[in-house]
Chain A
Amino acid sequence: GAGVSQSPRYKVAKRGQDVALRCDPISGHVSLFWYQQALGQGPEFLTYFQNEAQLDKSGLPSDRFFAERPEGSVSTLKIQRTQQEDSAVYLCASSLVLGQGSAEAFFGQGTRLTVV
């Protein structure tokens, strides 16, 4: 596709419900990142994939958060037993090169998760 695509754009979940957020990166991009952005704040790093390998998951806030990228393209961020503090925009980004160091990262429009 032309850009990074995320679905759904909006998700309302009841507290305790499991959710799955999808990211379709730009075709051929090696690196994929997930960020969490609270209202009025900058994005906070969650996890990083290089192809199918999850090289860094240090930003995942708890073991309720799980991400995968089994074939090195589409990625899914799963949140189990959602809590109100999980309400945020979840951004996915991809990059052609390893990491985000030397080239721009392309971001999707995000999924706005509201836990009620």
Chain B
Amino acid sequence: SQQGEEDPQALSIQEGENATMNCSYKTSINNLQWYRQNSGRGLVHLILIRSNEREKHSGRLRVTLDTSKKSSSLLITASRAADTASYFCATLDPGGGRALTFGSGTRLQVQP
């Protein structure tokens, strides 16, 4: 079963615009990670935010985490056509196993 649910399921924007994707999860977490997957490829790790952090930046990426609402958001600023991909949040349950649980993903299309 999938822990996280991303919202929206699909997003289409113009190059240069910002893209915001949201993730909600059900159980308490140790940390939350975001991954990108280009069509037909494996997943690439983008950023990890720990449960005691509220915001984290990496280049054009900004991630927020609200543990009281069990939600996270990924913001990509000044999007580029190369950002076209599926984006997944993934969580690690502190009381569970050692593997990540992934959401169903947001498919982002950036139009040039």
Contact = CB atoms under 8 A, between A and B. Distances in A.
Interface string B3-28: 01000000000000000000000000
A4 B2 CA distance: 24
A91 B100 CA distance: 13
A31 B43 contact: no
A56 B99 CA distance: 9
A107 B43 contact: yes
B31 interface: yes
Given A56-B97, A110-B42, A104 B48 contact: yes
B70 interface: no
B42 A4 contact: yes
Interface in B57-90: 88, 90
A42 B105 contact: yes
28 contacts: A41-B104, A41-B105, A42-B4, A42-B102, A43-B88, A43-B102, A44-B102, A45-B97, A45-B99, A48-B97, A48-B98, A50-B98, A56-B97, A56-B99, A58-B97, A59-B99, A99-B97, A99-B98, A100-B99, A101-B31, A101-B92, A102-B31, A103-B48, A104-B33, A105-B45, A105-B100, A107-B43, A109-B42
Given A42-B88, A43-B102, 13 more contacts: A4-B42, A41-B104, A42-B4, A45-B99, A48-B99, A55-B98, A56-B98, A58-B97, A91-B42, A99-B99, A100-B90, A100-B98, A106-B45
